[in-house]
Amino acid sequence: MKKLADLINATDVGELLEYIHAMVALVERDGSLVSWNRAFETYKSNYPYASNLQNCFSSKERDRITNRLDLNQPDPFVVEIDDGSEGKSVFYDCVILPLANGHSLFIGEHISSNASMQEIIQRLNRRIRMFQVESEHAKKIARNKQTEVDGIMVQAHELSNTDVLTFLPNRRMIVKTLQDEVARAERYSAPLSISVVDVDHFKRVNDTHGHMAGDEVLRHVAFQLRDHIRHPDVVGRYGGEEFLILLPNTASEEAAEQAARLCRYVRESQVNVDQHSLNLTVSIGVAQYQPGVDTWDSLLNRADNAMYEAKNNGRDQWYVAK
């Protein structure tokens, strides 16, 4: 069978790019926009004066885009975009592919919510509405149902804040917890450190063994992190193959010791995928909160940059932000 790429000419590719739902943009090495498809044009209408890829995203995502351009490697990552409706956000699975001619190709595809999770939440919401209508007709029924409504609402809250793949706190929940911890550290002058953990060569796993194997790898790493952090610490899935660990009342020296242990635990463990045993490694960036200097997102950016330093230094290691 001939490869599909051998049967499609440049004109066909251009037509194809115009009709796919994913956003595609051709950019210079520094992010300057060269050309883009219809899906990206629709999104770019929110940033009509943007001349480079970075300025087509919110300020908290621009450093991430810049880092990926500088890294010049096709590692997937996730960005958060405000969809403009009541402060809700959507997430895009993105990759920047370096091309032989010196350009790069940005591809962003909307991440759909897990269908089964959405169905559960919708069913719970329907039950809540049903109980609330009943409570309006009879106070006695309302008192009996209220306990059940409260329990269902707790379940719905937990589901909406849990990553359906790893069962860790999802991005929204771990970021909210980070914001609370930064406020507490500022108020009480308490130390606070965070670690950004990224699975090394995750794209290679997906390309070689498939996305189901990739999911199993993410679950395995999530369990390793969850089982080898201290009780006060919190770990959540930040997006894609990245995890975020919060270490309250902890200086960077102690956080670095934990990062070294986590690198070792992941390195020494194996995950069985499709009758193969895979050895995994992670790169970890550590940053300590600087009172009066850092905000929660600047702290996160410093840890993220430190993680890239660990990757640039050879992966399977940790690096502490200065």
Identify whether the C-beta of residue 198 lies closer than 8 Å to the C-beta of residue 221.
no
d(CA 251, CA 235): 17
Q: How many helices (H) and strands (E) does the chain have?
A: 11, 12
Catalytic annotation, pick one of 80, 241, 253, 268: 241
Burial code (b: 16+ CB inside 10 Å, e: under 16) for 206-229 equals beebeeebbebbbebbbebbbebb
d(CA 173, CA 167): 12
Give the CA-trace dihedral at 305, 307, 310, 316, to 10 degrees.
-170
Identify whether the C-beta of residue 41 lies closer than 8 Å to the C-beta of residue 18.
no
- DSSP type of residue 67: H
Q: What is the pairing mode between strands 318-320 and 282-288?
A: parallel
Identify whether the C-beta of residue 68 lies closer than 8 Å to the C-beta of residue 77.
yes
- Packed helices 202-209 and 211-227: angle between N→C axes, nearest 10 degrees: 140
Is 109 in the active site?
A: no
Strands (E), 85-223: 89-98, 104-110, 192-199
Give the CA-trace dihedral at 311, 314, 318, 319, to 10 degrees.
-70
d(CA 65, CA 54): 6
**What sign has the CA pseudo-torsion 309, 94, 246, 83?**
positive
Cα–chain center distance at 198: 10
- DSSP type of residue 24: E
Q: Which residues are tagged catalytic?
A: 241
